[in-house]
């Protein structure tokens, strides 16, 4: 029995959300998810990697026009538990994409990442899921109190906190996260034992960065 089958058997199956709805303003409005890296789009590479750790993946997009652009990549995974969700509130940034994805997710715990992270380490993802078990979330934290909010595990308990954040006029991803009652901080020093260079956190913001990589 493999790990995925065992997780389903004991009711601890996992979801992942890929936040792909950004407009890529720093890349001249290019779709980040479709940028090619080592012969594959960033989205394709992420889907392949995350399916090593989760049972379902939800790609969070801003609208149907964007979905049409991403569909050729999604069609490469015809027999997998891969779905999409849409923002229903416009121009609220990644927090709305996160809310939509959590509502769509089938399972209690969800790994969330941005679509521009080509080196996500499935062993780190597994580690974060273990840390989150029995808690509301697992959030990587540096000693400087910087956080990796878009490389973290959240439970569905975050949904009502996001709603409250929007009511307060807050769009910062960590605003509702810090309101969770049982938030586990995972020190980056622990993650370094799995991924010494912390490549799992690397994201791409400009075309120059992807050329360097």
Sequence ranges of the domains in the chain: 3-212
pLDDT at site 208: 63
Does pTM surpass 0.95?
Answer: no
Residue pLDDT, tens place only, 180-195: 999 999 999 999 999 9
For residue 117, pLDDT over 60 is answered with: yes
Second-level CATH architecture of 3-212? Alpha-Beta Complex (3.90)
If one compares 208 and 154, the residue with the highest pLDDT of the two is 154
Residue pLDDT, tens place only, 150-169: 999 999 999 999 999 999 99
Backbone angles phi, psi at 116, to 5 degrees: -110, 35
For residue 212, pLDDT over 70 is answered with: no
For residue 28, pLDDT over 50 is answered with: no
pLDDT at site 23: 64
Q: Which residue is listed with tokens 């980056």?
A: 188
CA distances, 22 to each of 28, 41, 43, 161, 172 (Å): 12, 16, 13, 22, 14
The whole-angstrom separation of Cα 93 and Cα 108 is 23
* Strands 15-19 and 36-37, sheet pairing: unpaired
User: Exposed, middle or buried: residue 40 (CB in 10 Å: 0-12, 13-18, 19+)?
Assistant: middle
Count of all residues that appear for the chain in the document: 213
The whole-angstrom separation of Cα 97 and Cα 115 is 12
């Amino acid at each position: 029995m493999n790990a995925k089958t065992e997780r389903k058997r004991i009711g601890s199956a996992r979801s992942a959300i890929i936040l792909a709805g950004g407009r890529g303003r720093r890349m001249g409005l290019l779709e980040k998810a479709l940028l090619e890296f080592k012969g594959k789009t960033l989205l394709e590479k992420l889907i392949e990697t995350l399916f090593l750790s989760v049972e379902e993946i939800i790609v969070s997009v801003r609208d149907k026009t964007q979905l049409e652009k991403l569909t050729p990549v999604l069609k490469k995974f015809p027999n997998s538990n891969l779905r999409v969700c849409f923002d229903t509130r416009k121009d609220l940034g990644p927090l709305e994409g996160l809310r939509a994805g959590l509502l769509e997710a089938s399972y209690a715990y969800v790994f969330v990442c941005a679509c521009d992270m080509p080196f996500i380490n499935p062993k780190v993802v597994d580690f974060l899921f273990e840390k989150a078990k029995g808690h509301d979330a697992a959030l990587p934290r540096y000693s400087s109190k910087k956080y990796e909010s878009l490389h973290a595990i959240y439970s569905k308990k975050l949904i009502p906190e996001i709603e409250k954040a929007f009511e307060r006029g807050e769009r910062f991803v960590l605003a509702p996260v810090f309101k969770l009652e049982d938030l586990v901080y995972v020190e980056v020093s622990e993650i370094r034992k799995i991924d010494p260079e912390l490549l799992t956190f690397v994201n791409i913001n400009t075309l120059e960065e992807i050329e360097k990589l």
